[in-house]
């Protein structure tokens, strides 16, 4: 049975691979077991094939039903510890006839799974192992409702302006909308979907995985605002909600939603990113940059984290230049001011800057437009 462990070793190594991988492994095209909602699996120990039933409750891809895959491919998305436990369960069942139960996940990260296994002899001298989830004594009456969970979530969030992420009760990423991938700067969703969020902080950034796993452990809703570190090294301030849910025994998870924190209730970012000229928005009182469009971020080599690191008078503009721009804006002058901007890349640029004051509630913002 040591061959079973050797069969899974390549995929166990792949689970730890970083974002520098040129492309997903070829086995990624095959089905993979998800522990949340798993009811049984059958192993042909000789052919090293696994058959199992994919639950419908969290099936966002519309592929629920009976699945079959080579052992290594089937287990590739389980954590290394879970892989070892499952392989050990299969080994003991083959050697002793019965094995288990083993507990996977447990209450520490949500609704755990308890598996027991038994060996069955087949005609021709073969053998197979059938592992089944132990019932928790609770009679589930919402089976029909379970099948509608994933389509309902997808319908509600697919076109949402918020970033949405759904993980199951074991921490495996089941779904994320397009806005999530844009916000967290993830180019290829296949590096995240189906993976355990604990194993991919180098793809999502360090903040989000720990937040999700803590939320699953507490199993309590959370609504707050915080800075999220991204895998690129940048950081972004977001308002977020994390809502755990359960749809049946052993089947549940959490929904994470987030959106950018708005300055004064106005979403400058969405509008300004459509413009090709460089636009900066500065809080006159604090002198902090509250927004910059994509063109300005490229032109001055700055990130969101850099914008939030210090006042504009300590980074891009000299204090006298900033004061001059405010004076011109107060006078209603439409004539651009010739000024020097020091980019975050160390390059000093001479620009023609047009300034306009904008009042929003009790705050005053200076909108700076860079003319070439």
Distance CA 21, CA 3 (A): 27
Per residue in 61-86, pLDDT (tens digit) is: 666 778 888 888 888 888 788 888 88
Question: Is the predicted pLDDT of residue 14 greater than 60, yes or no?
Answer: no
Picking from 336, 294, 287, the residue whose alpha carbon sits closest to that of residue 316 is 287
**Hunting for tokens 């002198």 — which residue is that?**
287
Distance CA 67, CA 134 (A): 20
pLDDT value of position 121: 84
Question: Is the predicted pLDDT of residue 11 greater than 50, yes or no?
Answer: no
Per residue in 88-108, pLDDT (tens digit) is: 888 898 888 888 788 876 544
Per residue in 327-370, pLDDT (tens digit) is: 888 887 777 888 888 888 888 888 888 888 888 767 888 888 88
Question: Is the predicted pLDDT of residue 283 greater than 70, yes or no?
Answer: yes
pLDDT value of position 364: 86
Question: Is the predicted pLDDT of residue 320 greater than 60, yes or no?
Answer: yes
Is pLDDT larger for residue 14 or for residue 29? 29
Q: What is the DSSP string of 204-237?
A: H-SHHHHHHHHHHHHTS-EEEEEEEE-TTS-EEE
CA angle at 237 for the pair 200 and 186, rounded to the nearest 5°:
35
pLDDT value of position 6: 52
Distance CA 96, CA 79 (A): 26
Per residue in 39-60, pLDDT (tens digit) is: 788 998 778 889 988 776 666 6
Mean confidence (pLDDT) of the chain: 76
Provide the token pair at 3.
Answer: 């061959």
pLDDT value of position 137: 40
Q: What is the mean pLDDT of residues 5-28?
A: 44
Question: Is the predicted pLDDT of residue 110 greater than 70, yes or no?
Answer: no
> In whole angstroms, how far apart are CA 271 and each of 32, 97, 293, 308?
41, 65, 8, 20
Is pLDDT larger for residue 147 or for residue 244? 244
pLDDT value of position 139: 40
pLDDT value of position 360: 74
pLDDT value of position 272: 67
At residue 1 the predicted structure's pLDDT band, cuts being 50, 70 and 90, is very low
Q: Pick the range with the lowest mean pLDDT from 38-52, 109-123, 137-151.
A: 137-151
At residue 297 the predicted structure's pLDDT band, cuts being 50, 70 and 90, is confident
Question: Is the predicted pLDDT of residue 149 greater than 70, yes or no?
Answer: no
Provide the token pair at 127.
Answer: 């053998």
Question: Is the predicted pLDDT of residue 144 greater than 80, yes or no?
Answer: no
Q: What is the mean pLDDT of residues 135-141?
A: 45
Question: Is the predicted pLDDT of residue 244 greater than 80, yes or no?
Answer: yes
Give the count of beta carbons closer than 10 Å to the beta carbon of residue 98.
11
Q: What is the mean pLDDT of residues 171-176?
A: 86
């Amino acid at each position: 049975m040591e061959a079973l462990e050797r069969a899974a070793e390549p995929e166990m190594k792949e689970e730890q691979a970083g974002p520098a991988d040129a492309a997903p492994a070829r086995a990624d095209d095959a089905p993979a077991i998800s522990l949340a909602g798993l009811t049984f699996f059958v192993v042909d120990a000789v052919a090293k094939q696994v058959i199992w039933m994919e639950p419908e409750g969290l099936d966002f891809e519309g592929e629920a039903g009976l699945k079959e895959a080579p052992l290594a491919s089937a287990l590739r998305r389980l954590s290394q510890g879970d892989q070892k436990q499952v392989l050990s369960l299969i080994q003991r069942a083959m050697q002793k006839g019965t094995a288990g139960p083993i507990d996977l996940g447990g209450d520490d990260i949500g609704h755990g799974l308890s598996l027991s296994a038994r060996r069955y002899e087949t005609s021709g001298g073969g053998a197979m192992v059938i592992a089944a989830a132990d019932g928790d004594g609770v009679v589930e009456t919402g089976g029909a409702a379970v099948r509608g969970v994933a389509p309902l979530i997808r319908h509600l969030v697919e076109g949402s302006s918020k970033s949405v992420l759904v993980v199951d009760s074991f921490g495996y990423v089941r779904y994320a909308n397009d806005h999530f991938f844009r916000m967290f700067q993830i180019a290829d969703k296949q590096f995240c979907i189906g993976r355990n969020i604990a194993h991919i902080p180098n793809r999502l950034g360090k903040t989000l995985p720990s937040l999700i796993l803590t939320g699953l452990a507490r199993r309590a809703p959370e609504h707050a605002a915080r800075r999220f570190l991204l895998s690129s090294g940048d950081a972004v301030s977001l308002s977020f909600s994390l809502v755990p849910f359960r749809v049946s025994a052993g089947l549940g998870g959490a929904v994470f939603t987030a959106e950018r924190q708005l300055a004064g209730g106005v979403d400058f970012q969405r509008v300004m990113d459509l413009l090709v000229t460089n636009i900066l928005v500065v809080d006159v009182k604090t002198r902090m940059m509250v927004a910059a469009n994509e063109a300005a971020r490229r032109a001055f080599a700055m990130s969101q984290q850099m914008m939030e690191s210090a006042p504009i008078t300590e980074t891009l503009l000299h204090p006298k230049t900033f004061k001059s721009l405010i004076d011109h804006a107060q006078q209603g002058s439409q004539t651009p001011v010739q000024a020097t901007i020091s980019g975050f890349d160390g390059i000093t640029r001479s620009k023609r800057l047009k300034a306009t004051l904008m009042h929003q509630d009790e705050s005053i913002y200076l909108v700076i437009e860079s003319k070439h």
